[in-house]
């Protein structure tokens, strides 16, 4: 544990197998970050497993995947990790990286992550200004008939709008530059339309990529007929190629440094809040409400609610009604400050992380002002709960107490006299978000199994249980302990419903038979 007081700087990029551009881009950015944060030990990580494997095979060089890098830092005893992404947008690779990081937040005293190149509106303006400066240099000898064209990678992720946002800024500011993508929007056909419309004859072709690697050398400047170089020449344009990755520009290197510095400064700002104020120590409480009936709250949960100054209530939809508020309402004091906050239930990982980060900062600020602050969660807060994402961001920064709640499947079993497990029987709690093949495998392996998150697969799961002769050894309940509760002791009756509630659970016990059948 020799490094217990030291900090680690982890720089994460997609990676490249092209050594010439790697030195000018990735390694140049890494050097700028190392120079700016000399009190941190430097580590490198890439998100492309394919490139990592290629370097290992070709050069016998070991580059760590993000989870491997974080495991190594844990092993070496680091307590604080400062991470800077070299990704250009908050796209698929960036979100993959953040999902990995989120699993490690509770294992370190501190993990801070600098945002990628394009996140805030100011970031877009900054990059637009750089493109303007480069384009003016490219076209200075023939401003009227020439322009710079930038090739981005593109993405199927929701962040695809990042490219269109840059292209719009270029057009809006009358900058002689155009941006399109290989795998997204705008496409090269869209760009060609506007190039001809604007009377452009000569093109300075550039990669809007961190490195000038495979995509730049082949998709952009390759000699085959499908490359951008060939397409643009076939359309009658004179083309000059510039093989500079975005990471070569000092302004981009400086931006990555600035983004990490911003994250560190924000953390310091929160840390010093109220340090000089004479306030009573605050505390944060994560409170399990149970499955839905107000009478199923524990005595401790009710007593905790009564002593709070502020209570955070999760909303699934902006402006929507908080489901848990109905449950805890009988226990709330009239003077309690209620803060309803939106927790997105979408597949946009970036949107969810931004929500969790913002709410966590607000909670920290409240607690450090001496407030007793609570957050309520359906069921048990440590089981498939949004609360855990908050906990990862709050732990070791403020005082926290988590109060358990009755889980929905425990209530289903008790309310319907349906045993879960006996003696040495194992029991599996399984979220049905994977394939039907995997769900069926779990059912075959265990005599007692709780199937949660079944609402999207209820019909095929019921059919599978029927085929295995387990229909009379199963129970299905939607909205357990809530006003709209539905109980299906014969699960076959639920097979042809038009829709299923999000809060639907199926319990199977091969060793029990239900009463009243």
Would you say residue 72 has pLDDT above 50? yes
Please give the pLDDT value at position 348.
61
* Cβ pair 267, 112 in contact under 8 A: yes
Q: What is the pLDDT of residues 101-140, one digit of tens each?
A: 988 887 888 899 999 999 989 999 999 999 999 999 999 8
* Cβ pair 258, 112 in contact under 8 A: no
User: Where on the phi/psi map is residue 426: left (φ > 0), alpha (ψ -120 to 50), or beta?
Assistant: beta
Q: What is the pLDDT of residues 213-262, one digit of tens each?
A: 999 999 999 999 999 999 999 999 999 999 999 999 999 999 999 999 99
Please give the pLDDT value at position 273.
52
Q: What is the pLDDT of residues 291-304, one digit of tens each?
A: 999 999 999 999 99
Would you say residue 84 has pLDDT above 90? yes
Classify strands 146-152 and 40-46 as parallel, antiparallel or unpaired. Answer: unpaired
Please give the pLDDT value at position 507.
96
Radius of gyration of the chain from its Cα atoms, rounded to whole angstroms: 28
Residue ranges of E strands in 153-227: 177-181, 202-208
Categorize the per-residue pLDDT at 367 as very low, low, confident or very high, splitting at 50, 70 and 90: very high
Would you say residue 278 has pLDDT above 50? no
Please give the pLDDT value at position 408.
93
What are φ and ψ of residue 423, in 5° steps?
50, -120
Peptide linkage before 186 cis (omega within 30 of 0)? yes
Catalytic residue among 18, 87, 106, 153: 153
Please give the pLDDT value at position 274.
47
What is the spatial distance between Cα 42 and Cα 495, in angstroms, rounded to a whole number?
56
Other Cβ atoms less than 10 A from the Cβ of 56: the count is 12
Q: What is the pLDDT of residues 395-434, one digit of tens each?
A: 878 899 999 999 999 999 999 999 999 888 899 999 999 8
Would you say residue 83 has pLDDT above 50? yes
* Cβ pair 22, 211 in contact under 8 A: yes
Length of the chain counted residue by residue: 517
Please give the pLDDT value at position 349.
73
Asked about 153 being catalytic, the answer comes back as: yes
| pTM assigned to the model | 0.65
Q: 323 is written with which tokens?
A: 């489901």
Share of the chain above pLDDT 70, in %: 95
User: What is the average pLDDT score of the chain?
Assistant: 90
> What is the rounded average pLDDT of the residues 323-330?
90
What is the spatial distance between Cα 140 and Cα 307, in angstroms, rounded to a whole number?
69
> What is the rounded average pLDDT of the residues 265-272?
75
Q: Which is higher by pLDDT, 83 or 317?
A: 83
Query: Which of 279-293, 315-329, 384-398, 450-464 is predicted with the least confidence, judged by mean pLDDT?
Result: 315-329
> What is the rounded average pLDDT of the residues 314-333?
84
What is the spatial distance between Cα 328 and Cα 285, in angstroms, rounded to a whole number?
14
Residue 60: partners with Cβ closer than 8 Å, 6 or more residues away: none
């Amino acid at each position: 544990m020799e490094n217990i007081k030291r900090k680690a700087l982890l720089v994460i990029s997609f990676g490249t197998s092209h050594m010439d551009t790697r030195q000018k881009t990735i390694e140049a950015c890494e050097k700028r970050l190392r120079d700016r944060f000399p009190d941190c030990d430097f580590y490198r990580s890439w998100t492309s497993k394919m490139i990592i494997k290629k370097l290992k095979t070709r050069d016998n060089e070991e580059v760590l995947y993000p989870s491997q890098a974080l495991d190594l830092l844990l092993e070496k005893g680091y307590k604080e990790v400062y991470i800077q992404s070299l990704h250009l947008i908050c796209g698929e690779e960036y979100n993959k990286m953040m999902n990995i990081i989120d699993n490690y937040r509770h294992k370190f005293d501190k993990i801070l992550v600098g945002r990628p190149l394009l996140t805030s509106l100011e970031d877009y303006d900054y990059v637009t200004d750089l493109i303007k400066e480069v384009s003016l240099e490219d076209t200075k000898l023939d401003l009227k008939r020439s322009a710079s064209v930038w090739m981005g990678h593109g993405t199927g992720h929701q962040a695809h709008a990042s490219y269109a946002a840059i292209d719009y800024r270029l057009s809006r500011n009358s900058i002689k530059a155009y941006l399109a993508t290989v795998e997204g929007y705008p496409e090269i056909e869209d760009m060609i339309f506007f190039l001809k419309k604007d009377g452009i004859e000569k093109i300075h072709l550039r990669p809007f990529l961190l490195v000038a690697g495979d995509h730049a050398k082949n998709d952009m400047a390759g000699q085959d007929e499908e490359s951008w170089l060939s397409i643009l020449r076939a359309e009658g344009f004179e083309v000059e190629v510039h093989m500079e990755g975005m990471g070569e520009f000092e302004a981009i290197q400086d931006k990555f440094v600035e983004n990490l510095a911003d994250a560190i400064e924000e953390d310091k700002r929160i840390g010093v809040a109220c340090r000089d104020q004479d306030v009573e120590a605050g505390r944060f409480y994560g409170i399990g409400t149970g499955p839905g009936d107000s009478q199923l709250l524990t005595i401790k949960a009710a007593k905790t609610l009564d002593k709070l100054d502020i209570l955070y209530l999760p909303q699934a939809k902006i402006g929507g009604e908080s489901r848990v508020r109905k449950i805890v309402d009988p226990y709330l004091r009239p003077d309690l400050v209620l803060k309803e906050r939106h927790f997105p239930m979408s597949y946009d990982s970036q949107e969810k992380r931004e929500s969790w980060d913002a709410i966590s900062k607000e909670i920290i600020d409240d607690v450090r002002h001496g407030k007793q602050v609570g957050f309520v969660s359906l069921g048990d807060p440590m089981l498939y709960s949004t609360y855990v994402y908050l906990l990862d961001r709050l732990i070791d920064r403020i005082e926290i107490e988590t109060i358990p709640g009755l889980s929905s499947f425990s209530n289903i079993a008790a309310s319907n006299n349906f045993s879960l497990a006996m003696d040495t029987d194992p029991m599996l709690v399984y979220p049905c978000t994977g394939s039907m093949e995997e769900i069926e495998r779990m059912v075959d392996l265990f005599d007692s199994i709780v199937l949660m998150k079944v609402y999207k697969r209820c019909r095929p799961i019921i059919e599978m249980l029927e085929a295995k002769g387990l229909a009379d050894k199963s129970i299905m309940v939607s909205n357990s302990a809530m006003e709209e509760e539905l109980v299906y002791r014969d699960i076959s009756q639920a097979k042809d419903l038009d829709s299923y509630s999000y809060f639907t659970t199926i319990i199977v016990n091969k060793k029990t038979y239900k009463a009243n059948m």
